[in-house]
């Protein structure tokens, strides 16, 4: 039987974790997490990481493998998972990968261009410019260094603009010249299952999940990492809003409101990204039996 990676994706808070457990058990296989924040062992509550009970039901990979102080990116994730899959496919005909980090999913399914690790001093120089002169200064720099990418990028997305400038300065080449955007052929089949539901229902689930995180001690968890708030790993919904509160920008109630709002906005961005992929088969997460039967049926003809 041809080896197949079953990819279960969808927005935050929709129920991927529980469904992935049932799907993996039905296929008698392991789960790989494609969540860019669940790899950090210190972040449990704010990332909705699988609980010890969930981890005991099915063997998981790429969960709590790194520290928040480690530099890690989508390219490294691609390389790590491809190596992992070469081992797992010796034991299983199928492997389940689940998560909502768009770049991490695409890195494994399509490949990602290798980009350089940015020198910390250079990164600090660019951030200093951003903090002192604002995003307009970084935009002007990008337009000079790489006018092609300047015309393509969302100029309101400061992270992407800043990163592009960092790469240009690090390599001496335009960022656009390093982005081939050519899908890589994988030595295994890929079956993509997407989860979606009515927006009102999804947003209610997200709001309730944030309430549960708060009850579980999200503020206390964040407190341990306040001194690391400038790390990329901590630029994460749930933590950055709490840091803003402690920086005196707004009160605690406003922080909670922002966590919920930004979680909903992130879910919307995830769905917009995934909906561009015509290979995804969409289901409501409640249709568990239908999803499992569909996957098993597709696997018989792949």
Whether residues 94 and 189 fall in one domain: yes
Residue 51's CB: how many other CB atoms inside 10 A?
A: 11
Whether residues 85 and 215 fall in one domain: yes
Q: Per-residue pLDDT tens for 35-83? A: 999 999 999 999 999 999 999 999 999 999 999 999 888 888 999 999 9
Confidence of residue 133 (pLDDT cuts 50, 70, 90): very high
* pTM for the structure as a whole: 0.83
The CATH number linked to 103 is: 3.40.50.300
Whether residues 20 and 96 fall in one domain: yes
pLDDT at 296: 96
Whether residues 93 and 187 fall in one domain: yes
DSSP output for 257-279: HHHHHHHHHHHHHHHHHHTT-TT
Whether residues 40 and 82 fall in one domain: yes
Whether residues 169 and 291 fall in one domain: no
Q: Per-residue pLDDT tens for 71-87? A: 888 888 999 999 999 99
Whether residues 216 and 109 fall in one domain: yes
Residue 98's CB: how many other CB atoms inside 10 A?
A: 26
pLDDT at 180: 62
CB-based contacts of 71, cutoff 8 Å, min separation 6 = 117, 232
Q: Are 136 and 162 in contact (CB under 8 A)?
A: no
Return the DSSP state at 32: E
Q: Count the helix, strand and coil residues of the chain and give each as a percent rounded to the nearest 5.
A: 55, 10, 35
Strands (E) located in the chain = 4-9, 31-33, 60-61, 94-98, 189-195, 280-283
């Amino acid at each position: 039987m041809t080896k197949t990676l079953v990819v279960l994706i969808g927005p935050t808070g929709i129920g991927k974790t529980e469904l992935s457990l049932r799907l993996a058990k039905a296929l008698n296989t392991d789960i790989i997490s494609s969540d860019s924040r669940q790899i950090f062992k210190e972040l449990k509550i704010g990332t909705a990481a699988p609980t010890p009970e969930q981890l005991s039901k099915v063997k998981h990979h790429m969960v709590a493998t790194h520290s928040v102080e480690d530099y890690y990116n989508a390219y490294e994730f691609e390389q790590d998972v491809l190596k992992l899959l070469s081992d797992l496919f010796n034991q299983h005909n199928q492997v389940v990968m689940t998560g909502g980090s768009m770049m991490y999913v695409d890195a494994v399914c399509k490949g990602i261009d290798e980009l350089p690790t940015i020198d910390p001093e250079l990164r600090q120089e660019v951030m200093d410019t951003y903090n002192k002169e604002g995003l307009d200064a970084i935009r002007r720099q990008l337009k000079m260094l790489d006018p092609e990418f300047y015309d393509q990028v969302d100029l309101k997305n400061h992270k992407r603009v800043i990163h592009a400038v960092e790469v240009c300065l690090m390599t001496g080449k335009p960022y656009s010249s390093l982005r081939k955007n050519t899908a890589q052929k994988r030595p295994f089949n890929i079956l993509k299952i997407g989860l979606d539901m009515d927006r009102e229902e999804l947003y209610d689930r997200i709001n309730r999940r944030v309430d549960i995180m708060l009850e579980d001690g999200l503020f206390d968890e964040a407190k341990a990492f306040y001194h690391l708030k400038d790390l990329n790993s901590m630029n994460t919904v749930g933590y950055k809003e709490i840091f803003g509160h402690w920086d005196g920008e707004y009160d605690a109630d406003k922080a909670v409101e922002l966590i919920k709002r930004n979680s909903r906005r992130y879910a919307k961005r995830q769905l917009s990204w995934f909906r561009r992929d015509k290979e995804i088969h969409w289901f409501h997460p409640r249709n568990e039996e239908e999803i499992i039967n569909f996957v098993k049926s597709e696997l018989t003809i792949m």
